[in-house]
Amino acid sequence: MTVKAGAQRYSNKYSTTQKIDLSHSKLTELPNDIANYIRLKKLILSFNRIKKIDDICFLNKLNFLDISNNCISHLPEKFFDLPLEFLDLSDNYIKEIPDAIEKFVNLKKFYCSRWIGLNKYTIKILPNTIGNLPNLECLSLSSNNISFLPESIGNLTNLKELYLAGNLLTSLPESIGNLINLEKLYLNNNKITKLPDSIGNLKKLKELDLSNNNLTELPENFQNLENLESLRLQNNKLKKLPKYLDNFQKVKCIYIHQNLLKELPNSIGSLKNLKELYAYNNRIKSLPESFGNLSNLKRLSLNYNRLSRLPASFAKLHSLSSLDLKNNQFSEFPNEILCLANLIGLQLSNNLITIIPNNIDNLKNLEFLDLANNQIKKLPSSFYQLKKLFMFDIQNNYLTQLPKLPRRGIKHLGIAQNLIQENYIKKIFKNK
């Protein structure tokens, strides 16, 4: 190859390359020739040990830059002249977002979160100029130490995703309600005590996570969030749910566990698309009769409550495959459960149940059954018909013997702390 041909090849490389991925390359500095890639549009440098990025400033065609998981502590002034549409600065040593962020008028996605134990290098304040990014669609600032949001956040009217989990927020500005195109809002693991009334303006919201905060109530306008598909309110201090749950016709998953709830509103029965409900660790004593209208419910966790009975309508939950009722106050096996032919997992441990009904074999699809820590003295012979039973825990009861069990089914059997004699146990396993 001639010197001229070689030079031509390198010249073509610099003038035609549009994407470079040097992630996980153990770099401590940028490649010496990086500024020569005059047509470069996409540059990925994540998971290195780079400290300075000055030469990137010469890449005036660059619109995608991922420099997450590096050692960058300073952003040069000319950096903000780049025509970036995507920028990921997550897990670096950056302690503040400069006012010059507003120069990124083309920016659509901006990530500056902390995931890898960089507690010393967290952002505490958002500049007012954050609101001057007219095209921003996704903003992720999770796991920093941000204690308040500027009112200008409401200017980001094209924003679709906002991630602020794991900060120090105690409230939200009223201007949050201006984010009318927002579809995902994650505010979990903050210290929020109250939501602004304007939250109800976010009518396109599909995913809302307010878990692990200090909420005691929800505002009236909350009912306007009619497009919600996932609602997370767990680990708050809610004493009751609003009566207008019937507005949430699209919701598929609700997480309200670890609150102070004593009851569920009657309107919960109107949630025809609800597939998962997690309401454990509350103080719920009874369920409304409308509960049986949740025809698409597949997973239900009501453990660690104060339930002693189920409504008759519960028998209509034919889609239910997983049911957790452990640590309640049932003194009898709830007969309504026997109508749930699609049930795969059933947990009733730590109750006061004494008798298991003969028609337990109605649950033909049962694979996991936990009856530990009750007061059961005898199991019906119909247990043999539970052909799909794979795991069965009956520990800490008053059994003196076991019925004939499915020969090829049970692989995990817990029978400790009963009154069964050791010789009888050996006989059972020998027969299997």
Q: Is residue 295 part of a domain?
A: no
| Residue at 11 is within a domain | yes
Confirm whether 114 is domain-assigned.
Answer: no
What's the full length of the chain, in residues? 432
Give the range of the structural domain holding residue 1, as residue numbers without chain letter. 1-81
70 in a structural domain: yes
pLDDT of residue 328: 98
CATH of the domain at 13: 3.80.10.10
Dihedral sign of CA atoms 63, 64, 65, 68 in order: positive
DSSP helix, strand, coil percent of the chain (3-state; round to 5): 25, 15, 65
Q: What is the pLDDT of residue 32?
A: 94
Q: Give how many domains the chain has, as a whole number.
A: 1
What pLDDT score does 410 carry?
Answer: 85
User: Which residues of the chain have a pLDDT value below 50?
Assistant: 1-10
DSSP letter string over 326-388? -SS--SS--GGGGG-TT--EEE--SS---B--GGGGG-TT--EEE--SS---B--GGGGG-TT
Query: Measuring CA to CA, how many Å separate 177 from each of 9, 84, 198, 349, 352?
Result: 55, 27, 5, 45, 49
Answer for the pair 68, 49: CB distance below 8 angstroms, yes or no. no
The model's pLDDT over 166-217, given as tens digits with 9 standing for 90+, comes to 999 999 999 999 999 999 999 999 999 999 999 999 999 999 999 999 999 9
Give the separation between CA 126 and CA 110, rounded to whole angstroms.
13
Look at residue 208 and tell me if it is in a domain: no
Domain presence at residue 216: no
Residue 213 maps to a domain: no
Q: How far apart are CA 211 and CA 27, in angstroms?
A: 38
**227 within 8 A of 250, measured Cβ to Cβ:** yes
pLDDT the model gives residue 15 = 80
Q: What is the pLDDT of residue 1?
A: 42
In a domain, 91, yes or no: no
